[in-house]
Amino acid sequence: MYVSQFAVLAAVLFAMGVYGILVRRNGILVLMSVELILNSVNINLVAFGALRDSIAGEVFALFVITVAAAEVGVGLAIVLLIYRNRRSVDLSEMDLMKG
Amino acid sequence: MGWTTSAAAATQTTASVLAAETSEAAEEVLAASGWFLENAWLIPAFPALSFLLILFFGKRFPKRGSEIGILAVGASLVFALAAAIQWISEVNRADDKNAALDAVSTTWTWWQNGGINFTFGTLVDGLAVTLLVVVTIVSLLVHIYSTDYLADDRRYTHFFAFLSFFTASMLFFVLSENTLQMIVGWELVGVCSFVLIGHWWEEKPNSSAALKAMLTNRVGDIGLLVGVSVLFFAAGETFSVLELNERAISGNIEHLPLLVGACALTAAVLSKSGQFFLHTWLPDAMAGPTPVSALIHAATMVVAGVYLIARLYGVFFEGFAIAGSSVNLLAVIGGITTLVGASLAFVQRDIKRVLAYSTISQLGYMVLALGVGAWTAAVFHLFTHAFFKACLFLGSGSVSHAVHSFDMKSDMGGLRKYMPHTYRTFMIASLALAGLPPLAGFWSKDEILAGTGGWGLVGGTGGNGAYTVMLVMGLITAALTAAYMTRCVYLTFFGQYRGHGQPHESGPRIVVPLWILAVLAVGAGWLNLPPGFQLVPENWTERFGHFVEPNEALSYFPKIAHADPSWTLAILSAVVALAGIALAGRYYFGKVAAVSPSATELSDGMVARSSLAAAGHNLLVNKYYLDHLYSGVIAGGVKGPIARAAYKFNQDGIDKVVNEVGERAVQAGHFAYDVIDQKVVDGMVNSSGVAPQLAGEEIRRMQTGKVQTYAGIVFIAAALLALGFIVFL
């Protein structure tokens, strides 16, 4: 088993996540893309932890999963409220911060 | 007549008199104590408080504030009398112990600077107590009188406020413990007089008179400032009245600065006490309401100058070397003033102006007395004069109340039938002023004349020097005084009424004060009967002098010699006064009344017949041309050339420079505006604004509001950072 396989997998997942964040207009899908990025990080943490025969990577991965659960909870709540107010979760319409 | 003064006593030398008196001098100095003497500050405090009360709340009171003033001055009178009684009992206590009674000096430190203590406080002795009593009595009577006299005045409340303030100021001045405090009191009195003279300021002559009084007094005030400063440094940095006197008498002050200081203070006296040649404001000050004239310009304020001399007598006595000379500045000024005032009183039509000139003349008497060293006589004359002159002024006010005028020639005459009370009191006061025995004026005048030490016929010697010239001046004035008062009385009360309407006697609030003052005008003189006057027990004579004059053992009062009284001189002065009355009486009651009961002068009299007399009359009518001298020659002469020179300098000098400077300044301004301001400064400011503006315009576009754009930027930046890390680390 090579660590490079995990690294490639993580890089692919990361790239997919970034792509999803930058391109998707649906807020929920953007949130899901964020999850992809986080999970790619998890993969890296676990893989490099195993490589170095350390448990720290797995501990960090567990932390990230916990934080990600909380993050997605808050994120979904925001999206839900936006939907209630605007009847849409299209991010391209949300430009109140335009300078 | 029973005078014990023998011919032998009269021939005593000055030295032996001095020796005789030093043997009587007290052995020790006793400190006076007494609640009223130590708390004398309350006496001016009452009217000062009433001033504020009347000013702020007076109009809300049922009697529009006058009751507060009367109450306050009444309280002051009670306290002043209590202080006087306490002082007398203290003097008696000291007498029992053969001791001298020291003045009661209560001081507080006001502030300190450079080691000098600036204090304020009260100085109470016989002199101060006398003035306190005089001022409060006259002021109280004037207050009561004014409630009727000014009953319909539009500024009634205001008038009473300032009457109170004036009383407070004068009492403050009298109680001054140091010369700085004296300046304050002096100026306060001056301000009050300005306000009260100009009480009816709507009429131009009244406000001019007030200004004239103020400005003439300013001339003298400079003298006061200079005098106080000179004495302060000459006496080793002290303002204290007692210390100044002590150091002057003990010779600790060099003679030259002492003389300069005394001369400067004399200048102050000239203006405040209406002495020749700064007396011109006093007759004009009659523009004020009559009670004010009585209070300020007869009985109290104008004696401030006399009081100043009496208070700082050590300075004057040593400065002018009064002892052992026969002429000095004070005596000469007093002598001239008394003659000038008396002669000018002859040609006045206005009854108050007659009295004003009479006041000047009598003040001259007091200054003359102080100048010849007759200190007690001067203070005593101040005391008696206050009563009969206040009575005369209030009487003239009562007359004017009835006839609505002050002009004796056109609006008065024959008033004795209509105004019996005013007539009688006026007569009593006139006779007292003329100096007929046994009225008050006789005794004080006689003491002054004897005090000159210039008389040698049975007594009258043993004074501080042989001031024979002053004696002659005093005698002439005695005759003149009697004569002009005869004229005044005739024109006012005798002959036929020449005015309009039916005059009637004034109300009780005017008549009662008149009678009180008339009684005092009769009796005040008995307080100081000459020593050796055998008609009364010996311990009735010289009471006033005994209680008022500081004992010889006190270091703050100079060792003055006391001239012997002379019955020959007393008879002469009475005869002279009678002669004055007789001469004027023959003219008015004889010749003028014979022409017609309503006549006021003879059409073919001396003035019409003799050109010399006419010239003299003219001189008097024009008041010795002093007013012309001041306003025409001095003010005009100084004003004209100075104004022209100033105009020329202004036009050719200052204006040219100013114009040039102005033009250059405008040019410089244009340059600064066009080039520096507009181009350099504004350019910098504008360009510094332009750059951020342009940058802002560009950067603003990045703020799309789209989250994903931001995220993209973040990712790009993160990727670049990562690249940076990889490449450079």
CATH number for A30: 1.10.287.3510
**ipTM exceeds 0.90, yes or no:** no
Q: What percent of chain B has pLDDT over 70?
A: 88
Has residue B8 got a pLDDT over 50? no
* Of A73 and B152, more confident: A73
Model-level pTM greater than 0.90? no
Q: Closest to B712 (Cβ–Cβ): which among A22, A91, A92? A: A22
Whether the CB of B719 is below 8 Å from some CB of chain A: the reply is no
Report chain B's mean pLDDT, rounded to a whole number.
Answer: 81
Number of H helices, E strands in chain A: 3, 0
Dihedral pair phi/psi, residue B387, rounded to 5°: -75, -50
Q: Do B705 and A99 touch (CB under 8 A)?
A: yes
Q: Look at residue A78 and tell me if it is in a domain.
A: yes
Tokens of B291: 């009670």
Structure-block tokens of residue B16: 């032996």
A45 in a structural domain: yes
Structure tokens at B102: 């020291």
Radius of gyration of chain B (CA): 35
Q: CA B88 to CA B216: how far, in whole Å?
A: 39
Q: Measuring CA to CA, how many Å separate B455 from each of B21, B326, B452?
A: 21, 12, 8
Which residues span the domain enclosing A12?
A: 3-93
Please tell me the total number of residues recorded for chain A in this structure.
Answer: 99
- pLDDT category at A80 given cuts 50, 70, 90 is very high
Residues of chain A numbered 62-91 and touching chain B (CB < 8 Å): 91
> For residue A31, is it within any domain?
yes
Chain A, chain B: beta-carbon pairs less than 8 Å apart: 35
Contact B314, B557 (CB under 8 A): yes
Q: Can you give the length of chain B in residues?
A: 729
Question: Which of B381, B419, B382 lies closest to B398, judged by CA?
Answer: B419
Domain count, chain A: 1
Cis peptide before A63, with omega less than 30 degrees from 0?
no
How far is Cα B8 from Cα B20, in angstroms, rounded to an integer?
A: 14
Q: Reduce the secondary structure of B567-587 to three states and give it as a string.
A: HHHHHHHHHHHHHHHHHHHHH
pLDDT reported for residue A81: 92
Percentage above 90 pLDDT, chain B: 4
Q: Which of A26, A92, A93, A96 to mutate to test the interface with B (most CBs of B within 10 A)?
A: A92
Check CB contact of B712 with chain A, cutoff 8 Å. yes
Looking at residue B10, its pLDDT comes to 38
Assigned domain for A99 exists: no
HEC profile of B592-648: HHHHCCCCCCCCCCHHHHCHHHHHHHHHHHCHHHHHHHHHHHHHHHHHHHHHHHHHH
Is A59 within a domain? yes
Asked if residue A14 belongs to a domain, the reply is yes
pLDDT higher than 70, residue B625: no
pLDDT for the residue B6: 37
Q: Are strands B28-31 and B116-124 parallel, antiparallel or unpaired?
A: unpaired
In this structure, are residues B316 and B325 in contact, taking their beta carbons and an 8 Å threshold? no
Helix (H) or strand (E) holding B513: helix B508-523
* Residue B703 forms contact with A (CB below 8 Å): yes
Could you tell me where the DSSP H helices lie in B273-312? 281-284, 290-294, 303-311
Containing H/E element for B106?
strand B104-113
> Average of pLDDT values for B321-337?
82
- Tell me whether residue A9 is in a domain: yes
Q: Which residue of A91, A94, A98 is in closest CB contact with B703?
A: A98
pLDDT, one tens digit per residue, over B226-249 is 998 888 888 887 888 888 888 888
Average pLDDT (B674-678) is 84
User: In this structure, what token pair is assigned to residue A34?
Assistant: 């964020």
> Is residue B441 over pLDDT 50?
yes
Q: Are β-strands B28-31 and B99-102 bridged in parallel, bridged antiparallel, or unpaired?
A: parallel
Judge: B704–A96 Cβ closer than 8 Å, yes or no: no
Cα-based angle B490, B495, B501 (whole degrees, multiple of 5): 110
B110: pLDDT confidence band, cut at 50, 70 and 90?
confident
| Cβ of residue A98 closer than 8 Å to a chain B Cβ | yes
What was the pLDDT predicted at B22?
42
Pairing type for strands B116-124 and B104-113 reads antiparallel
Instruction: Specify the 3-state DSSP secondary structure of B566.
Output: coil
pLDDT at B343 over 90: no
CB-based contact (8 Å) between B696 and chain A? no
**Probe site for chain B from A22, A44, A78 (most B CB atoms < 10 A):** A22
The answer to whether position A98 is within a domain reads: no
Q: Is A29 on the interface with B (CB under 8 A)?
A: no
pLDDT at B115 over 90: no
Which helix (H) or strand (E) segment is B122 a member of? strand B116-124
Q: Shortest Cα distance from A76 to chain B (angstroms)?
A: 16
B722 vs chain A: nearest CA distance in angstroms? Answer: 14
pLDDT for the residue B534:
65
d(CA B705, CA B25) in angstroms, rounded, equals 112
**Residue B27, pLDDT score:** 63
Tell me how far apart the alpha carbons of residues B511 and B513 are, in angstroms, rounded to a whole number: 6
Position B261 pLDDT exceeds 90: no
For residue B606, pLDDT over 70 is answered with no
Give the model's confidence band at B635: pLDDT under 50 very low, under 70 low, under 90 confident, else very high: low
pLDDT at A67 > cutoff 90: yes
Mean pLDDT score, A26-48: 92
Q: H or E element: which one contains A69?
A: helix A56-86
The band of B609, judged by pLDDT with boundaries at 50, 70 and 90, is: low
